[in-house]
Structure 1
Amino acid sequence: MPTSTLRSQLDKDGFVVLRSILSAKQVSQQRAAAERTRELALQGSWPHVRTVGKQFPPWTWSPGVGIWGVQHLLNPALPDAPTFAASYFGDEVLGVAKELLGPCSDDELVMELYNLLVRPSDGTDYELRWHRDDIPAGASAQEETNRLTEPAWHAQWNLALCDGDESLVVVPGSHARPRTEQERAAGPFEPDMPDQLVVKLDAGDVVFYNNNILHRGRYDGSRERLSLHGSVGHVAGGKLRARNVLQHAVGSWVDKCDFSNLDEKQRTRAEGMRARLVKLGSESGDVGYSLDG
């Protein structure tokens, strides 16, 4: 798609889907790394996880508690961090992100988050409630409007590594308006919302979405899921993006990242993006958490 079409679709609907953004070889490499990483988490060898029963940070790993996500794929302490870095900093994803953010250049990108979403490890079905990532459910219509009229300054995505990923449910266009009275009155786990759409992805497909679109996640304990869940920021976002990113404690390891496995172009891009994240952290102080629950 031409840049104008991608950006206009994101502006109109709040999300955009691209098919087969990764080659079959790339999908295979990323999936193998994801499977190994999930196994480390299940063994308790990687405690940075999202636990069943809790939707938002902070999370604490405990033996026997199911997980629905694995955090910090770029942390250099993770054995497969170099593999994940290749997909995060590669042209396939960031080329699209730059179109959606501006267009913009590498020098304007900020490293943010990279996580793995998996089916609940305890085999149960698990549902996240309807939410916007950086606007609390108790916000008034005017407060929502004030936040939603600000530029997004981010690109966020789910990149499927398995066929049949139908976990993300969105309300198209809701990123650009406050909730309707019906949406506001609906319960947090309302099974269906008017005009909702289930995003359907196969391996190698990606959905980019504004993280303040009204959305939820539905996790089928019987269906395999491995999805790379990432975000990248624009330097102009500044403190508007700080809490959304820094609440996940990336500051504890980001200065230790090793990008030596990347080619020269990607390594230069990665070092610049990392430096801008470190700068954001140093300027932002204690950011707290966006949402509770």
Structure 2
Amino acid sequence: MSSTTSAEELRASLKRDGFVRIQKAFSTDDITRFRSAAQHVAERARAGRWRFVRTVPKQFPPWPVSEATTEGIWGVQHLLHPSMPDEDRRAFAESYFGDVMTGAVTALLDCETSDLVMELYNMLVRPPKDFELRWHRDDIGPDVPPEVELERLQEPMMHAQWNLALYPDSSLVVVPGSHARARSGEERKADPFEENMPGQVRVSMEPGDIVFYNNNILHRGVYDCKAERMTLHGTMGLKGADSSRSRNILQHGIGDWAGDCNFSDLPGNMAKLATEMQQRLIGMGSGKDVGFSQRD
């Protein structure tokens, strides 16, 4: 879909398929700026100078930071952290709180910007060796019985989750429609790294494209170490989320630093919006002892 697609069409596609792609949402100039910031933080993280990382081969948090320089990384966490160098932090913040992203999120969630909550902003990067994630739903474990799985899947959508590609990216593999049903018997018995899951689709993105997807769609990641990858991976919530959503966000440690963010240097009304969204996140709690949605 193009950036001119109507809100109704976006919502219909997300509801039907569990994911929707907005093509060329950001300009070439925007992507050039975001790439510069992404390259800086990726270099620091690979050198062990940014402690918030996702280390190979671990899929779920917590990730052992000590292995960043030995095993390598596949992700960088907390792009909005106050210790991020100012120029890079502003670039990431403008991609997150700006009109393009908040406009897409409010369209998908059928809400107002006054409903939005600041959540996670991370980056997925090229690992040092080929690396794959298991088939999973982000907040529903593999051992949940079908009736509980279906009940969880029918809960109202209280957030948006996306990938914003800065380079060509076809790492995300999904099973369209699986966000609205319990897994089939075949899916339950499949190898966790099954390469040909029935109905699977590899989602191809070009720089500037955004893919929004239901985080409980059946999906996995397949990462090619030879292909450059810098994909901004974010979530934005709605106020009034329940405890399971709070755990899904706060398990990443964002509650430790969210209160220290200062967004006053953002342009125009963006500073006010960012601060309001930050305060709604702080209202969710610190995240102490919330546990983890899934572990490995």
With structure 2 as the length reference, what TM-score do the two structures score? 0.95
Q: Which digits, 9 at most, give the CA deviation of each residue in 1:101-122, with x for residues without a partner?
A: 1x111111011000010010x2
Query: SS at 1:281's partner residue?
Result: coil
Residue of structure 2 in register with 1:133 after alignment = 138
- Cα distance in structure 1, aligned partners of 2:36 and 2:91: 10
Task: Tell me if 1:117 matches 2:121.
Answer: no
Which residue of 60, 71, 74 maps to 1:65? 71
Task: Tell me if 1:158 matches 2:163.
Answer: yes
* AA aligned opposite 1:153: M
Q: Which digits, 9 at most, give the CA deviation of each residue in 1:265-290, with x for residues without a partner?
A: 111111111001000115x7532100
- Cα distance in structure 1, aligned partners of 2:96 and 2:194: 33
Percent identity, aligned pairs only, is: 52
Which residue of 265, 288, 292 maps to 2:291? 288
Structure 1 stretches of 4+ with a deviation exceeding 4 A read: none
Report 1:14-163 matches (<5 A).
14-62=18-66, 63-79=69-85, 80-101=88-109, 103-120=110-127, 122=128, 124-163=129-168
Conservation of the 8 A alpha-carbon contact between 1:20 and 1:205: yes
What 5-or-longer segments of structure 2 have no aligned partner? none
Task: Tell me if 1:169 matches 2:178.
Answer: no
- Cα distance in structure 2, aligned partners of 1:216 and 1:229: 14
- Cα distance in structure 2, aligned partners of 1:42 and 1:287: 29
Conservation of the 8 A alpha-carbon contact between 1:130 and 1:216: yes
Q: Which digits, 9 at most, give the CA deviation of each residue in 1:143-168, with x for residues without a partner?
A: 111100111211000000012x1000
With structure 1 as the length reference, what TM-score do the two structures score? 0.96
- Cα distance in structure 1, aligned partners of 2:152 and 2:270: 33
What 5-or-longer segments of structure 1 have no aligned partner? none
- Cα distance in structure 2, aligned partners of 1:54 and 1:285: 22
* AA aligned opposite 2:121: Y
- Cα distance in structure 1, aligned partners of 2:16 and 2:280: 29
* AA aligned opposite 1:198: R
Conservation of the 8 A alpha-carbon contact between 1:238 and 1:280: no
Task: Tell me if 1:277 matches 2:281.
Answer: yes
Residue of structure 2 in register with 1:220 after alignment = 224
- Cα distance in structure 2, aligned partners of 1:286 and 1:147: 23
Q: Which digits, 9 at most, give the CA deviation of each residue in 1:109-144, with x for residues without a partner?
A: 011000010010x2x100000000000011110111
| Aligned Cα root-mean-square deviation (Å) | 1.0
- Cα distance in structure 1, aligned partners of 2:99 and 2:242: 24
Q: CA deviation at 1:179?
A: 0.2
- Cα distance in structure 1, aligned partners of 2:275 and 2:263: 8
- Cα distance in structure 1, aligned partners of 2:94 and 2:82: 13
Q: Which digits, 9 at most, give the CA deviation of each residue in 1:71-122, with x for residues without a partner?
A: 0000010112121001000111111111111x111111011000010010x2
Q: CA deviation at 1:238?
A: 3.3
- Cα distance in structure 2, aligned partners of 1:130 and 1:64: 26
Conservation of the 8 A alpha-carbon contact between 1:109 and 1:273: yes
Stretch moving more, 232-241 or 85-94 = 232-241
Q: Which digits, 9 at most, give the CA deviation of each residue in 1:242-279, with x for residues without a partner?
A: 01100000011111112122123111111111001000
Q: CA deviation at 1:241?
A: 1.1
